[in-house]
Chain A
Amino acid sequence: MGYSFRTSPTAIFAALIALICLVCALFAPWIAPHNPFDLATLQLDNARLPPAWSVGGKSEYFLGTDDQGRDILSALMYGARISLAVGLASVVLSLLVGVSMGLLAGFLGGWIDGLLMRLCDVMLSFPAILVALLIAGVGRALFPNAHESLAFGVLIVSISLTGWVQYARTVRGSTMVERNKEYVQAARVTGVAPLRIMRKHVLPNVLGPVLVLATIQVATAIITEATLSFLGVGAPPTSPSLGTLIRVGNDYLFSGEWWITIFPGAMLVLIALSVNLLGDWLRDALNPRLR
């Protein structure tokens, strides 16, 4: 795998970009030139400054400022931090739910399998964004005066509840193959409990495709989060993700302040594209037939 990585320029390039984004996100409070949420440092005469290289730009605000005088570059780093955190959390949650459901369905079969797979069919027949929106809406109705942390909880749950289906299907397929292999039979004969067989014996053998899927789902989750935030039902304006930044900047598009919305958009595409390319490479690298 190391060899395949070193010989693939696309993978190296994608990994490099993903790494830069990750570092920016992780260490935003320390490497960002300004703190966009510190109201004391904001000055209104610095509002809506263009990027440093165009006329009227200041070098201290490299990518310009937004309507409240916040530095776009710093807001990007903090926004990417929130986008990545929500994206990763939802992938982990949907992975846990999906893999357990898939293992149960594939290993036990019978009516559990039937029920779970019909549920998957119904979920898959609707676009993910619609399901996520619906769950977000229900969350809003249930907790009308939602606290900020609760808003993120609803956001993560709504994204992961649309994502688990893919894992469940993949894992169910591979589990049904593994179930009949000799090592599982041997474990059964020696009296290992079914749950333990699933966890200790079947699970490690079905994780390959799940890993590929999870990588690609990180990109999907980040884009879903951005879409929900753009539509106004995602991350609150007080702790903006990339989608919220785009939503806010969209209002200033017509007065010519394109940088407020285009830079967060570009950052989003960079993250999604690099993660997708990494996922593609991982799929090929893990596929023994292509090696």
Chain B
Amino acid sequence: MFAFIVRRLAQAALVMVTVALISFMLFQYVGDPVVFLLGQDATQEQIRELRQALGLDQPFIVQFWHFLANAARGEFGFSLRQGTQVSALIAERFPATLELALVAGFLALAVGIPMGVYAALRRGSFLSQVFMTLSLLGVSLPTFLIGILLILVFAVTLGWFPSFGRGDVVKIGWWTSGLLTAKGWHHIVLPAVTLAIFQLTLIMRLVRAEMLEVLRTDYIKFARARGLTTRAVHFGHALKNTLVPVMTITGLQLGGLIAFAIITETVFQWPGMGLLFIQAVTFADIPVMAAYLCLIALIFVVINLIVDLLYFAVDPRLRAGKSGGH
């Protein structure tokens, strides 16, 4: 197990360094900070001095090392468009995106798993077919269209939910939370549902497929033969073994949720990181893009690590074979 963890950590570090290298190259070669800081009509002398002051005349590897050291401390310089520190901008937006992603992820799991289980156990029933058809539609509808349709129906026509912003937020230190006020919950409904629908359909289809697979195995037949109740067989044995692959996908999806939040946040004007990133892309604000990229990569890598470690907690076969995973 130890060797397995070390290898996973090494892989994670490799991915992070690769992403950091890409961000660094973006920084250094795409948006030339010198031209930006001095404007188009700077003299050669000024350019040379600034290059020296910023350390841009040093060898590549030294500059990259400085970049890594700064990135590790969360320093990504200043936003080209807004002139404020990138780290401050991101810290301000991060809570909104994380809360949205968590609520959406919870929703997708809480609705997707029961729907998948039902569709597997009552295969061919009318409701299962409705679920399957809806899930096909959910996969074919692009996220932004789902958001627009929800706004049209629930905000414009029915007027039940607001369609933009976070509502009232409570400040806890540097963290701002919308989940402590009634208005905040009122505002998060439509964006969270939009973000959840795609994941929900994926989870539902996955649970259904896995469940059907597991129900065919010998140990389920054996459990039935032992005379266990249907309920115990379905939920004690079958569902438990279905959840291992579901866990992997869910872990990856949480990262996906944060990335897909870009679209949802644009539709609902949700003041999160995704909206910040889109503005950065539109205005070619390289420092913000690079910082966002590194942060997303970090989140992905950490989630992957947690999922790998959870395997040991869930799957006894991995603990028994101490040789170090696969």
In the assembled complex, A226 has its CB within 8 A of some CB on chain B:
yes
Number of A-B contacts (CB under 8 A): 97
In the assembled complex, A114 has its CB within 8 A of some CB on chain B:
no
CB distance from A215 to the nearest CB of B (A): 14
CB distance from B243 to the nearest CB of A (A): 22
In the assembled complex, B277 has its CB within 8 A of some CB on chain A:
yes
Bound form: Cα–Cα A233–B282 in Å: 6
Structural contact, A133 and B145, CB atoms closer than 8 A: no
In the assembled complex, A53 has its CB within 8 A of some CB on chain B:
no
CB distance from B305 to the nearest CB of A (A): 12
What is the interface of chain A mostly: helix, strand, loop, or mixed?
A: helix
Structural contact, B30 and A265, CB atoms closer than 8 A: no
Chain B residue at smallest Cβ distance from A262: B152
Bound form: Cα–Cα A70–B140 in Å: 28
Structural contact, B142 and A268, CB atoms closer than 8 A: yes
Structural contact, B30 and A256, CB atoms closer than 8 A: no
Structural contact, A141 and B282, CB atoms closer than 8 A: no
Bound form: Cα–Cα A258–B157 in Å: 10
Known: A122-B18, A126-B296. A140 touches B260 (CB 8 A): no
In the assembled complex, B148 has its CB within 8 A of some CB on chain A:
yes
Interface residues in B227-268 by Cβ distance below 8 A to A read 255-256, 259-260, 262-263, 266-267
Chain B 142-167 interface mask (CB, 8 Å, partner A; 1/0): 11110011011000100000010000
Structural contact, A133 and B151, CB atoms closer than 8 A: no
In the assembled complex, A217 has its CB within 8 A of some CB on chain B:
no
B30, B142, B266, B289, most chain A CB atoms within 10 A: B142
In the assembled complex, B107 has its CB within 8 A of some CB on chain A:
no
Structural contact, B260 and A276, CB atoms closer than 8 A: no
Interface residues in A121-155 by Cβ distance below 8 A to B read 122, 125-127, 129-130, 133-134, 136-138, 140-142, 144
Residues of A within 8 A of B293 (CB): 134
Interface size on B, residues (CB 8 A): 38
Bound form: Cα–Cα A256–B259 in Å: 31
CB distance from B132 to the nearest CB of A (A): 13
Residues of B within 8 A of A273 (CB): 140
Bound form: Cα–Cα A258–B144 in Å: 15
B143 in complex: contacting residue of A141, A227, A268, CB < 8 Å:
A227
Structural contact, B145 and A269, CB atoms closer than 8 A: yes
Residues of B within 8 A of A136 (CB): 281
B259 in complex: contacting residue of A122, A126, A258, A262, CB < 8 Å:
A126
Structural contact, B286 and A258, CB atoms closer than 8 A: no
Residues of B within 8 A of A126 (CB): 259, 296-297, 300
B30 in complex: contacting residue of A125, A133, A141, A253, CB < 8 Å:
A141
In the assembled complex, A202 has its CB within 8 A of some CB on chain B:
no
B278 in complex: contacting residue of A231, A268, A269, CB < 8 Å:
A231
Structural contact, B296 and A144, CB atoms closer than 8 A: no
Structural contact, A261 and B148, CB atoms closer than 8 A: yes
In the assembled complex, B141 has its CB within 8 A of some CB on chain A:
yes
Structural contact, B145 and A231, CB atoms closer than 8 A: no
In the assembled complex, A223 has its CB within 8 A of some CB on chain B:
yes
A265 in complex: contacting residue of B18, B145, B260, CB < 8 Å:
B145
Structural contact, B259 and A250, CB atoms closer than 8 A: no
In the assembled complex, B31 has its CB within 8 A of some CB on chain A:
yes
Bound form: Cα–Cα A223–B139 in Å: 11
Known: A140-B282, A141-B30. A127 touches B256 (CB 8 A): yes
Structural contact, A227 and B142, CB atoms closer than 8 A: yes
In the assembled complex, B71 has its CB within 8 A of some CB on chain A:
no
Q: A141-B26, A226-B144, A232-B282 are in contact. List 18 more A-B contacts (CB 8 A).
A: A126-B300, A127-B256, A129-B262, A130-B259, A130-B296, A133-B278, A134-B289, A137-B281, A140-B282, A141-B30, A144-B284, A219-B140, A231-B262, A232-B278, A253-B152, A269-B142, A269-B145, A272-B142
4 closest Cβ pairs, A-B complex: A137-B281, A141-B284, A127-B259, A140-B284
Write the residues of chain A forming the contact surface with B, with a CB cutoff of 8 angstroms.
122, 125-127, 129-130, 133-134, 136-138, 140-142, 144, 219, 223, 226-227, 230-233, 246, 250, 253-254, 256, 258, 261-262, 265, 268-269, 272-273, 276
